[in-house]
A and B are shown apart, each in its own frame.
Chain A
Amino acid sequence: MKAELEALQVEALEAIQTTGDLNTLEEHRVNFLGRKGRVTDILRGVSQLSVEERPLMGQAANAVKVVICEALDARKAELTVVAEAAQAESEAVDLSLPGRTPRKGHMHVINQVTDEILQIFGDLGFQTATGPDIETEYYNFDCLNTPKEHPARDSHDTFFVKPGTVLRTHTSPVQMRVMEKFQPPVAVVIPGRVYRVDYDATHSPMFYQFEGLLVDKGITFADLRGTLMHFIHRMFGKDIEVRFRPHFFPFTEPSAEVDILWKAKDRHTGEMKSQWLEILGCGMVHPEVFKHAGYDYEQYNGFAFGMGVDRIAMVKHGINSIHHLYENDVRFLEQF
């Protein structure tokens, strides 16, 4: 039996060493060590032996089993490496080829900027409000302290639909629509299309505005400054210089315009130049406007502000003509 074991070991080791693939190796394992394998058979036969022989032969058989086992493992490791290498070679790819890129959609830059502005004011607690593009003259002008023949109407060249009905020239009518419906505190931001009879290199008859209104007890011009500084710093960077300068709007008192000191590369010379750019108008809500809204001027203060989203987008992205915004040229759309 001992000789048989030795011969088996020699046979097994040789078979293992000469095996070239993992499947055959597995067959060898089954053949020698499997449930019905030859080593297993011998081990099973040990119980038939005499009490003296049993431990000796048991040990010997186990030793052969261990040797074969180790040989199988070692060979398996070798063959695995070989097999992987072979597979890798057969599957070789040229990773310098372009991938299959999923198509990326593009939101229009006006809406991207609007979403960003809404996010900033949303974080402060402002909610979105909207109103119709086709508006009554009352909401667009009269209730905003801009009666007929007010010279401030000159800067609002107005499209008329019929007497008393206009395409809104600003988003401010929505302020009044909100105030008529809701009591303070009111904190809204209003995005929307607006229209003016003005079409040249720098004007589009339709453009996009963004308006804000906060009415509550104890609201001050300092709050207006803080709110807008916060917005500007988030929109354009925290180091940007900002200035408030007095201006006139019929529906706010005091009124101001806000400029930022904008640094941009000169298109021709490539030099960095800084320049004050007007980006928004604002002020404390005029008592006349509160009167129309039915709010108590003694009890509430409010501020309002408005800006051209087109202008913000153009400044931020360096877009050189407002007309790109409304042409829908895909070479423009896919830039943003």
Chain B
Amino acid sequence: MKISLHWLKNYIDLDLTVEELAHEMTMLGLEIEAIERPGDEITGVYIGEILEINPHPDADKIVVCKTNVGGDEPVQICCGAKNMKVGDRVPTAIVGATLPGGFEIARRKMRGVESQGMMCAASELGLDGDSEGLLILDDTYEIGADAKPLLGLDDVIMEIEVTPNRGDWASMIGVARELAARFNKALHIPDVSFVESAPAIDEVTSVTVEDDARCPRYMGRLLRNVKVGPSPQWLSRYLVAAGQRPINNIVDITNFVLLETGHPLHAFDFDKLKESRVVVRTATKGESMETLDGEKRTLKKSMLVIADATTPQCIAGVMGGTLSETSDDTVTIFLESAVFDPISVRKTSRALKLISESSQRFQRGADPEMAAYALDRAAALMQELAGAEIAEGVIDHYPSPVEARVVTLNYSRTADLLGVEIPHEEQVKHLESLGFIVTTQDENSVTVSVPLRRNDVSMEADLIEEVGRLHGFNNIPVTIPHIAGTERIYAPVENRLRAFRRFLVGLGLYEAYSWTFSNETLVKNAGLDEAYLNMVKLENPLSEKQATMRSSLIPNLLASAAHNLNRGTAGLAIFELGPTYLADEEQETGASQQNKLAIVLSGPITTKHWSRNQHEQDIFDLKGYVEAIANYFDTEFKFEAEDYPTFQPGQSATIKKRKHTLGFFGKVRQSLLKNWELNQDVYILEMELDSLVTHATPTKGFEAIPGFPAANRDLAVVVEANAPVNELIDTISRSGGNLLKSVEVFDIYTGKPIESGKKSVAFNLIFQSEERTLTEKDTQKSFDKILKQLENKHTATLR
């Protein structure tokens, strides 16, 4: 809501600078979102009176005026506007003046005629209004006076955020009331007085409320012989300051009173109401109406409307209709001031996707007392500004008047909750300053009656907040709580995942962090199977691209790889660790969540270096990360070659821990690369982590450090070219005996002199004893045994 300081000062005397005021409002909970000074740059603009309008000797579209701006001599101004006549008063910028945007007015010649200033249109002063013609002012503006204060150009507009609990703040009086409480100042609520004349309202019209629950109070007044016309300057100015567009005096008054009191009103053109009566009822099936914004609205049975004898005229608390809209021809007005149920208004507003000043206020809860004041305030203004004759009496349907809530505050609870001792009398003073009325009081507690406008206050904690707020949150001490120790670990999995993430970073990987959305196309483009299409779908996604929750990390990482490789990055090694989701009817939410890890590698990640060749990452780099992960979790993974649509045939494997499949990795299938705009080989891995992190890795036992040196032996054999090396290693490990500690492959060779269709594989064997230093003889025995097994099982020959 926009608060004009000029306007605000009608209700409270303030002697603070704008900065101080903004600070105090902020500290009361009225968050300032922006401070605007719309006329800040304007200088040298005065009220001028046009004395002469003469044609320009050399230009058809320009006239030469003489304007009195209060000086000894009138100034000569060339002007292109058409809407003025001699005797009009207009804001006039003289030579040396500045206008919004820093635009400076200089003496200059227009087609040979000197112009000594500029007469201004509203828009040229940053005011809302016609930009075609000059801003014509009435005779109350004194000639030669500084136009800035008169036009409100020295006003300051504060835009505040009104929290959902404080509907009462969405008004000038509401804000003034809060400041009055803060500074112990008087709140000036404008007096309302007007003259009523016959006939009485209930002789002319009637109101029937069919739904008291949704319309607990309905008030109305009848105003006759209104003269619809423009609003006076002050009224238009306030509305413009509040961000509204002046329309006519009747509409403007209802808007003004809405902003002043926070209570929405509606003015019906009474002569358009069939049978001259008002019915508050729910819409019937198939009913529709055109609202003031020009949209045709189809109504639902659940919506409350204000109708005449036959037709809905207004969607209760949301927006009026065009059928009974006030126009220049309106003579008689039925002015409504009602209280509607917040939930009903909110539902209707949401169902119609129609949010208005009115609906926003009603859905926070309206004050039935303010309804009465706002009605009379608007009626009085209509009498004053539009010559309205006010029919005697008021319609007031209020079958069960709302009773004020009564809440007790135990003084000691204030200190319990806030951590500061505030004297009892000060606590009471704070509450009273906000309009709470003390009903009973003793040495331990005070009981207050809560003003109806404060529907946010219903219990002790609410009163404590009010006391704390006026005491000042920043005047409450600062203490560090003692947190009682507990052996509870609430999220062991999260703790382990965070440690694991640090490990992956330590391997030199970069961590990606993607949106967790996905869609079916992405899953298919990644070659993932049916199981991954069992996704959690969103009812209201941002777009079809984010229609589901991701079932795999692979699509996001492929997209990230493409993003980077297409922007000049030669290679990358990225991981993402996070949740994936699958539809799961067994869960209350219909979804299950699983933590996964994905790694994507492509190209070289070392820079070109003077001392070595650049290494293009390949599938063995990826497998190496998986082996490091197994090592991290102190476990062993098995790799089983297995084809999968995501990967090049023969270049992928599943990762297993015992019999459980954790995931897979491989080289991305060439035919899929184009789906992702990828132009180079990409290697990707995905594996689930939950089974690895659900339980802590067992505590490691100490193994004695060997006291005797190890013996190294190399063994090279020639085998079939397609023989899997891990099977050779298995054979060696099994036949090597107790002394064999490790087997590493250190060379693979094909080509001469090795026979074609064969390969040479060289192993480094390490033998060690815990009892003695091994001799050649000791190792030879194992060596021979190994060789024999290799010969038998793999038709290997010693090279």
- Please indicate the chain A residues that have their CB under 8 angstroms from the CB of B229 in the complex: none
Q: Judge whether A237 is part of the interface by a CB distance below 8 angstroms.
A: no
- Please indicate the chain A residues that have their CB under 8 angstroms from the CB of B539 in the complex: 159-162
Q: Judge whether B510 is part of the interface by a CB distance below 8 angstroms.
A: yes
A115 and B502 CA atoms in complex are apart in Å by: 10
Whether the pair B564, A328 counts as a contact (CB closer than 8 A) is: yes
The 10 closest A-B pairs by CB, nearest first: A222-B419, A220-B419, A125-B483, A246-B29, A103-B508, A248-B163, A254-B465, A105-B505, A328-B560, A151-B164
- Shortest C-beta distance, B354 to chain A (Å), equals 14
Binds A, one of B108-116, B242-250, B609-617: B609-617
Q: Judge whether B388 is part of the interface by a CB distance below 8 angstroms.
A: no
* Binary flags per residue of A248-279, CB closer than 8 Å to B gives 1, else 0: 10000111110000000000000000000000
Whether the pair A254, B464 counts as a contact (CB closer than 8 A) is: yes
- Please indicate the chain B residues that have their CB under 8 angstroms from the CB of A105 in the complex: 504-511
Which residues of A305-327 have CB atoms within 8 Å of chain B's CB atoms?
Answer: 325-327
Which residues of B444-503 have CB atoms within 8 Å of chain A's CB atoms?
Answer: 456, 459, 461-462, 464-465, 468-469, 473-474, 476-481, 483-486, 488-491, 493-495, 498, 501-502
CB nearest to A137 among chain B residues: B589
Whether the pair A333, B483 counts as a contact (CB closer than 8 A) is: no
Whether the pair A111, B501 counts as a contact (CB closer than 8 A) is: yes
Whether the pair B29, A227 counts as a contact (CB closer than 8 A) is: no
Partner of B511, one of A107, A127, A248, A329: A107
Quick one: given A246-B28, A328-B514, are A226 and B164 in contact (CB under 8 Å)?
A: no
Quick one: given A185-B483, A245-B473, are A149 and B346 in contact (CB under 8 Å)?
A: yes
Binds A, one of B55-63, B328-336, B566-574: B566-574
CB nearest to B506 among chain A residues: A105
Whether the pair B489, A127 counts as a contact (CB closer than 8 A) is: yes
CB nearest to A258 among chain B residues: B473
- Shortest C-beta distance, A224 to chain B (Å), equals 8
Q: Judge whether B530 is part of the interface by a CB distance below 8 angstroms.
A: no
Whether the pair A221, B476 counts as a contact (CB closer than 8 A) is: yes
Whether the pair A227, B164 counts as a contact (CB closer than 8 A) is: no
Can you give 30 contacting A-B residue pairs, CB < 8 Å?
Answer: A100-B609, A103-B605, A105-B504, A105-B506, A105-B511, A107-B511, A111-B513, A134-B589, A134-B593, A136-B589, A152-B164, A161-B538, A165-B591, A178-B490, A193-B578, A206-B516, A222-B419, A222-B420, A222-B479, A230-B480, A243-B27, A245-B473, A247-B31, A247-B163, A248-B166, A248-B456, A253-B462, A253-B465, A328-B514, A330-B569
A193 and B506 CA atoms in complex are apart in Å by: 24
Q: Give the interface size bracket for B toward A.
A: 35 or more
A221 and B418 CA atoms in complex are apart in Å by: 4
- Shortest C-beta distance, A14 to chain B (Å), equals 47
Quick one: given A222-B419, A248-B29, are A330 and B510 in contact (CB under 8 Å)?
A: yes
Q: Judge whether A286 is part of the interface by a CB distance below 8 angstroms.
A: yes
Whether the pair A227, B480 counts as a contact (CB closer than 8 A) is: yes
Binds A, one of B216-224, B284-292, B377-385, B540-548: B540-548
Whether the pair A325, B484 counts as a contact (CB closer than 8 A) is: no
- Please indicate the chain B residues that have their CB under 8 angstroms from the CB of A214 in the complex: 481, 483
* Binary flags per residue of A154-188, CB closer than 8 Å to B gives 1, else 0: 11000111100101000000000010001001011
> Other than the known A246-B469, A247-B31, A254-B468, what 8 A-B pairs have Cβ atoms closer than 8 Å?
A128-B495, A130-B493, A193-B516, A221-B418, A246-B28, A254-B464, A284-B417, A331-B569
Whether the pair B508, A130 counts as a contact (CB closer than 8 A) is: no
Quick one: given A97-B610, A132-B593, A222-B479, are A205 and B542 in contact (CB under 8 Å)?
A: yes
A204 and B33 CA atoms in complex are apart in Å by: 21
A331 and B560 CA atoms in complex are apart in Å by: 12
- Shortest C-beta distance, B179 to chain A (Å), equals 14
Whether the pair B611, A100 counts as a contact (CB closer than 8 A) is: yes
Q: Which of B347, B418, B478, B485 has the most CB of A within 10 A?
A: B478
A134 and B674 CA atoms in complex are apart in Å by: 33
- Please indicate the chain A residues that have their CB under 8 angstroms from the CB of B464 in the complex: 253-254
Q: Judge whether B26 is part of the interface by a CB distance below 8 angstroms.
A: yes
Q: Judge whether A30 is part of the interface by a CB distance below 8 angstroms.
A: no
- Shortest C-beta distance, A77 to chain B (Å), equals 36
* Binary flags per residue of A96-121, CB closer than 8 Å to B gives 1, else 0: 01101011111110110001001000
- Please indicate the chain B residues that have their CB under 8 angstroms from the CB of A149 in the complex: 342-343, 346-347
A195 and B517 CA atoms in complex are apart in Å by: 11
Q: Judge whether A9 is part of the interface by a CB distance below 8 angstroms.
A: no
Which residues of B255-275 have CB atoms within 8 Å of chain A's CB atoms?
Answer: none
CB nearest to B465 among chain A residues: A254
Which residues of B505-559 have CB atoms within 8 Å of chain A's CB atoms?
Answer: 505-517, 536-542, 546, 549, 556
- Please indicate the chain B residues that have their CB under 8 angstroms from the CB of A191 in the complex: 494
- Please indicate the chain A residues that have their CB under 8 angstroms from the CB of B512 in the complex: 108, 328, 333
Whether the pair B31, A284 counts as a contact (CB closer than 8 A) is: no
Partner of A134, one of B505, B549, B612: B549
Q: Which of B465, B495, B514, B610 has the most CB of A within 10 A?
A: B465
Whether the pair A247, B29 counts as a contact (CB closer than 8 A) is: yes
Q: Number of contacting residues on A, CB 8 A?
A: 87
- Shortest C-beta distance, A164 to chain B (Å), equals 8
Q: Judge whether A29 is part of the interface by a CB distance below 8 angstroms.
A: no
A155 and B162 CA atoms in complex are apart in Å by: 12
- Shortest C-beta distance, B522 to chain A (Å), equals 15
Q: Judge whether B563 is part of the interface by a CB distance below 8 angstroms.
A: yes
- Please indicate the chain B residues that have their CB under 8 angstroms from the CB of A218 in the complex: 416
Quick one: given A108-B511, A108-B513, are A128 and B491 in contact (CB under 8 Å)?
A: yes
Whether the pair B508, A102 counts as a contact (CB closer than 8 A) is: yes
- Please indicate the chain A residues that have their CB under 8 angstroms from the CB of B493 in the complex: 130
Q: Judge whether A142 is part of the interface by a CB distance below 8 angstroms.
A: no
Q: Judge whether A75 is part of the interface by a CB distance below 8 angstroms.
A: no
Whether the pair B511, A111 counts as a contact (CB closer than 8 A) is: yes
Whether the pair B163, A185 counts as a contact (CB closer than 8 A) is: no
- Shortest C-beta distance, A319 to chain B (Å), equals 13
Quick one: given A159-B538, A333-B512, are A221 and B609 in contact (CB under 8 Å)?
A: no
CB nearest to B537 among chain A residues: A161
- Shortest C-beta distance, B68 to chain A (Å), equals 44
Q: Which of A118, A225, A226 has the most CB of B within 10 A?
A: A225
Q: Judge whether B606 is part of the interface by a CB distance below 8 angstroms.
A: yes
Whether the pair A220, B416 counts as a contact (CB closer than 8 A) is: yes
Quick one: given A165-B590, A214-B483, are A127 and B541 in contact (CB under 8 Å)?
A: no
A205 and B593 CA atoms in complex are apart in Å by: 19
- Shortest C-beta distance, B500 to chain A (Å), equals 12
A206 and B541 CA atoms in complex are apart in Å by: 12
Whether the pair B164, A248 counts as a contact (CB closer than 8 A) is: yes
CB nearest to B577 among chain A residues: A111
Whether the pair B490, A327 counts as a contact (CB closer than 8 A) is: no
Q: Judge whether A26 is part of the interface by a CB distance below 8 angstroms.
A: no
A150 and B455 CA atoms in complex are apart in Å by: 13
CB nearest to B166 among chain A residues: A248
Q: Judge whether A334 is part of the interface by a CB distance below 8 angstroms.
A: yes
- Please indicate the chain B residues that have their CB under 8 angstroms from the CB of A187 in the complex: 483-484, 486
A334 and B166 CA atoms in complex are apart in Å by: 46
A151 and B166 CA atoms in complex are apart in Å by: 11
Whether the pair A130, B491 counts as a contact (CB closer than 8 A) is: yes
Q: Judge whether B776 is part of the interface by a CB distance below 8 angstroms.
A: no
- Shortest C-beta distance, B477 to chain A (Å), equals 5
CB nearest to B567 among chain A residues: A329
Q: Judge whether B665 is part of the interface by a CB distance below 8 angstroms.
A: no
- Shortest C-beta distance, A333 to chain B (Å), equals 5
CB nearest to B364 among chain A residues: A151
CB nearest to A195 among chain B residues: B516
Whether the pair A130, B494 counts as a contact (CB closer than 8 A) is: yes
Q: Judge whether B588 is part of the interface by a CB distance below 8 angstroms.
A: yes
- Please indicate the chain B residues that have their CB under 8 angstroms from the CB of A247 in the complex: 29, 31, 163
Q: Judge whether A223 is part of the interface by a CB distance below 8 angstroms.
A: yes
A4 and B337 CA atoms in complex are apart in Å by: 139
Q: Judge whether A124 is part of the interface by a CB distance below 8 angstroms.
A: yes
A281 and B484 CA atoms in complex are apart in Å by: 24
Whether the pair A185, B484 counts as a contact (CB closer than 8 A) is: yes
Q: Judge whether B165 is part of the interface by a CB distance below 8 angstroms.
A: yes
Whether the pair A245, B504 counts as a contact (CB closer than 8 A) is: no
A162 and B514 CA atoms in complex are apart in Å by: 24
